[in-house]
């Protein structure tokens, strides 16, 4: 890849950090975003920059606040001179039945998991058009295609992400700006590992048994998706080989949607 500038939201841990690392390893400058301790984030920034001989910056923009999202994208352009790649990854989860779902949690999940994508894209597009190049990748989910109980807000948001992806792709189909999505299944992140550990303790299972129990309903392969695999899917969508992939989704779900 030619050196570009990439924004990755929600990239201080988990999938977002893996995506940022993949883009950094491909030689792109990176703007990280997310929550975490200042010293931990500083260490991530320094290590990513030194290991890949690139420039790395950090924005603490709150993805529930459109003004901060705009500021993040504008700051990236001011710092690097372009906004070439935008990966909308920030997301949260909360589970409850519809009748018990707190309205504040619904609003928060829709704001972070869906609306933040719109706000970031809206600000980034003029910069991409001016530069005659752009890659927008939205991290959706298998839950953007199918539903699960107790996940009304998350499922709604991820379905919306796929719709937004298609609209942005069509509106820019005559340009060198593409918009696509990646839909992961269950990804083995520290957050998911905590759920597995809790399951093992609650039901007296070994780590292997807990993994199998966690995956048995959704993943025919019996394996978790790795964060690095999502990073490589993003790399492909940002490459010249994917210049005519527009408005579609790469599903990385261990066979979930094939059932």
User: Looking at residue 187, what DSSP letter applies?
Assistant: B
Q: Which residue has the tokens 């190049």?
A: 133
226 φ, ψ (degrees, to nearest 5):
-95, 145
What is the Cα gyration radius of the chain? Answer: 18
Burial of 242 (0-12, 13-18, 19+ CB in 10 A): middle
CA dihedral for 250, 110, 145, 200, sign (positive or negative): positive
Torsion of CA 131, 229, 211, 156, to 10 degrees: 30
Q: Is 133 a catalytic residue?
A: no
Q: Tell which residue, 72, 54, 66, 53, has the closest CA to residue 11.
A: 72
Q: Which residue has the tokens 């309903």?
A: 217
Report H helices in the chain.
14-25, 38-52, 66-80, 103-110, 116-131, 152-171, 190-203, 207-215, 227-237
Catalytic residue of the set 94, 127, 154, 236:
154
- Tell me the C-alpha to C-alpha distance, in Å, between residue 179 and each of 52, 115, 144, 183, 188: 26, 16, 16, 14, 26
H or E segment at 138?
strand 134-139
Positions marked active-site: 154
């Amino acid at each position: 890849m030619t050196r570009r500038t990439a924004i990755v939201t929600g990239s201080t841990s988990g999938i977002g950090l893996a995506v940022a690392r993949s883009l950094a390893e491909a030689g792109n400058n990176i703007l990280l975003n997310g929550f975490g301790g200042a010293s931990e984030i500083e260490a991530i920034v320094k290590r990513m920059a030194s290991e890949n001989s690139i420039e790395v910056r950090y924005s603490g923009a709150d993805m529930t606040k459109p003004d901060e999202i705009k500021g993040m994208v504008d700051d990236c352009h001011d710092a690097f001179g372009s906004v070439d790649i935008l990966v909308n990854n920030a997301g949260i989860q909360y589970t409850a039945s519809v009748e018990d779902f707190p309205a504040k949690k619904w609003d928060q999940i829709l704001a972070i998991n869906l609306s933040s994508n719109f706000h970031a894209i809206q600000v980034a597009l003029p910069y991409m058009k001016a530069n005659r190049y752009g890659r927008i990748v939205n991290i959706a989910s298998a839950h953007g295609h199918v539903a699960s109980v107790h996940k009304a807000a998350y499922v709604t948001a991820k379905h919306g992400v796929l719709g937004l992806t298609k609209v942005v792709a069509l509106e820019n189909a005559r340009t060198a700006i593409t918009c696509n999505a990646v839909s992961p299944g269950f990804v083995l992140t520290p957050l998911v590992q905590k759920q597995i550990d809790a399951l093992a303790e609650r039901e007296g299972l070994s780590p292997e048994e807990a993994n199998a129990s966690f995956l048995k309903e959704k993943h025919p392969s019996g394996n978790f998706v790795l964060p690095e695999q999502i990073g490589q899917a993003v790399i492909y969508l940002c490459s010249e080989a994917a210049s005519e992939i527009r408005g579609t989704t790469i599903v990385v779900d261990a066979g979930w949607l094939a059932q």
